[in-house]
C-alpha cells in the first residue's frame, strides 16, 4: 500500500506538470504483479483523482475560468466517450500507427512556437476551431491515450492567452473529464483491482495537488519546453514500438 501510494504521488506530480503519469504508474502496477489489462483499467480509474487534486492546487490559475472549463469540459467528455466507443469496434492498431506523428507534431509545435501576449490562434478561447481541436484530442485520449495531455496542452496553448502555468491548469482540469468517462466505464465493466486503486488514488490526489505548485514555480518557458521534450521522447518510443518490429 505504501509503495502504491508513493508511485501515485510521483505519477500525480508528473501528470500535472508534463502529462505523463502513465509512464510512471503503469509499469509500477505491472511490477507489483497486476496483469496488463487489469493494470491499465486500474490506473485509469485511479487517475481520476489526479484531476481532483490538480483542480484544488490550481485555484489561483482557475479563478474566473468556470465558463471556459464548463464549455471545454463538456466537449472533452463527449470526445472521450466517442473514443471509448470507437475502441470497441476498431483495432487499437489504428492509433498505434499515427500516434507517434501526432505526438511529435504537437511537441514540435510547443517547442518552436513561442507564445506572445495578445496573439492567439484557433479563434481564441471562444473559437469553434478550439472546441474541434479539444474534441479530437479527447477522442484520441479515450481511444489510445498515450501523451494525450501533451496534445491537449499544445491545442490549448495555441488558443489561450495565458502563461504556461495557466494553460497547464486548464489542461489538467479539462483532461480529467475525458478520463472520468473512461474511469466510469471501466469501474462498471473492467477488471479493476480495487485494492490497488485505494492507495494509488491517494497518491494521485496528493501528487495532483502538489503538481500545480511545481509548475507555477518553473522559470520562464521551462514548463512548455519540458512538456515538449517529454512528448518527443514518447513519440520516439511509440514510433519504435509501432514500426521497429
Q: What is the mean pLDDT of each run of 10 residues along the chain (245 residues)?
A: 88 80 79 82 85 87 86 90 74 68 77 64 76 88 73 85 84 85 78 90 92 80 77 80 69
**Closest to 17 (Cα-Cα) out of 219, 229, 234, 224:** 224
The SS3 call for residue 161 is coil
What's the grid cell of residue 135?
474534441
Phi, psi of 192 (to 5 degrees): -75, 135
> Is residue 86 exposed (0-12), middle (13-18) or buried (19+ Cβ within 10 Å)?
middle
Question: Could you tell me the residue ranges of all domains in the chain?
Answer: 2-243
CB-based contacts of 120, cutoff 8 Å, min separation 6: 158, 159, 160, 161
Any idea which residue has 471562444 for its cell? 126
Kindly report whether the global pTM for this prediction surpasses the value 0.85.
Answer: no
Amino acid at each position: 500500500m505504501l509503495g502504491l501510494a508513493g508511485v501515485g504521488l510521483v505519477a500525480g506530480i508528473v501528470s500535472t506538470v508534463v502529462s505523463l503519469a502513465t509512464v510512471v504508474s503503469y509499469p509500477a502496477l505491472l511490477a507489483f504483479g497486476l496483469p496488463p489489462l487489469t493494470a491499465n483499467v486500474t490506473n485509469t480509474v485511479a487517475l481520476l483523482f489526479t484531476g481532483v487534486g490538480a483542480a484544488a492546487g490550481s485555484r489561483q490559475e482557475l479563478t474566473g475560468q468556470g465558463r471556459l472549463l464548463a464549455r471545454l469540459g463538456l466537449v472533452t467528455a463527449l470526445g472521450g466517450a466517442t473514443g471509448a466507443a470507437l475502441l470497441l469496434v476498431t483495432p487499437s492498431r489504428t492509433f498505434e500507427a499515427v500516434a507517434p506523428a501526432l505526438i511529435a507534431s504537437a511537441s514540435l509545435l510547443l517547442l518552436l512556437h513561442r507564445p506572445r501576449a495578445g496573439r492567439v490562434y484557433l479563434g481564441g478561447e471562444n473559437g469553434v476551431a478550439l472546441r474541434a481541436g479539444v474534441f479530437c484530442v479527447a477522442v484520441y485520449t479515450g481511444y489510445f491515450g498515450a501523451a494525450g495531455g501533451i496534445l491537449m496542452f499544445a491545442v490549448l496553448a495555441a488558443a489561450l492567452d495565458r502563461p504556461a502555468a495557466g494553460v497547464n491548469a486548464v489542461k489538467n482540469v479539462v483532461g480529467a473529464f475525458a478520463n472520468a468517462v473512461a474511469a466510469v466505464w471501466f469501474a462498471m465493466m473492467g477488471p479493476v483491482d480495487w485494492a490497488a486503486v485505494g492507495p494509488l488514488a491517494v497518491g494521485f490526489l496528493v501528487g495532483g495537488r502538489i503538481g500545480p505548485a511545481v509548475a507555477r514555480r518553473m522559470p520562464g518557458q521551462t514548463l512548455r519546453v519540458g512538456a515538449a521534450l517529454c512528448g518527443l521522447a514518447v513519440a520516439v518510443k511509440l514510433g519504435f514500438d509501432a514500426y521497429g518490429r
